[in-house]
Amino acid sequence: MNLKEIASKQIQDSIETKKAVLDTLLPQIEEAGKLASEVLEKGNMILFCGNGGSSCDASHIAAELVVRYKSGNERRALPALALNSDSAVLTACSNDYGYEFVFSRQVEAFGKPGDLLVGLSTSGNSKNVIAAMESAKKIGMKTISFLGGDGGKMKGMADLDLIIPRKETARIQESHILIGHILCSIVEYKLFQLG
């Protein structure tokens, strides 16, 4: 296989994955956008969490809400927070309690009834994201899971699951960020009538 074939195969795989998302997840994506919009419209906050690449996606989506999604869409900042962003909290909690609790501890600190937790896990088996989901439910928060493959242990834990029907991490993450962008676009449209 040459380099062109490697690149071509990945692009084709990405296109096929996004087509599968379009064919199977459109109603759930719309529902996620509505839920996020309702939470923010009521003055509540959205918390995001994930590990590795999903951590970066969590930060990316939160930033789009705090700053703005689309260039030219001037609007007020929206309350969104990526729980993977504070290195002091992450390392202190890992040291004192264990890495499994780095997100649930912050959900306890920042989450309120009516807030929304979005947990990203390509496998659906991330112990710290599972613990965060459990904490969010106890508080009375709404929950959305961005998952992949068969959904793993997290399938069915959230109010709404968005499960990318693929096993390859790269394709799942590409689709997660696409869905995150769509969610931000729906929020800007529903709250501010911005296209």
The predicted model gives 69-88 an average pLDDT of 96
Whether pLDDT at 187 is above 90: yes
**Residue 161: which pLDDT band, with cuts at 50, 70 and 90?**
very high
Residue 176 annotated as binding? no
As a whole number of angstroms, the distance between CA 138 and CA 144 comes to 15
pLDDT category at 52 given cuts 50, 70, 90 is very high
Question: Looking at the predicted structure, is the pLDDT value of residue 1 above 90?
Answer: no
Is there a binding annotation on residue 121? yes
Residue 12 marked as a ligand binder: no
65-83: average pLDDT = 97
Residue 85 annotated as binding site: no
- Residue 158 pLDDT > 90, yes or no? yes
Strands 116-120 and 142-148: parallel
Domain boundaries defined on the chain? 44-192
Structure confidence by residue, pLDDT tens digits, 79-133: 999 999 999 999 999 999 999 999 999 999 999 999 999 999 999 999 999 999 9
Report pLDDT for 121: 98
Q: Is 44 annotated as a binding residue?
A: no
Beta bridge partners of 148: 164
123 carries a ligand binding annotation: yes
pLDDT at 56 (0 to 100): 98
pTM to 2 decimals? 0.97
Q: Tell whether residue 54 is among the known ligand binding residues.
A: no
Q: Is 60 assigned a ligand-binding role in the annotation?
A: yes
Task: State mean pLDDT over 37-41.
Answer: 98
- pLDDT given at position 172: 98
Percent of the chain with pLDDT over 90: 99
Query: Domain 44-192 is in which class?
Result: alpha beta
Residue 72: other Cβ atoms inside 10 A = 7
Nearest CA to 69 out of 38, 111, 36 is that of: 36
The CA distance from 158 to 130, in Å, is: 10
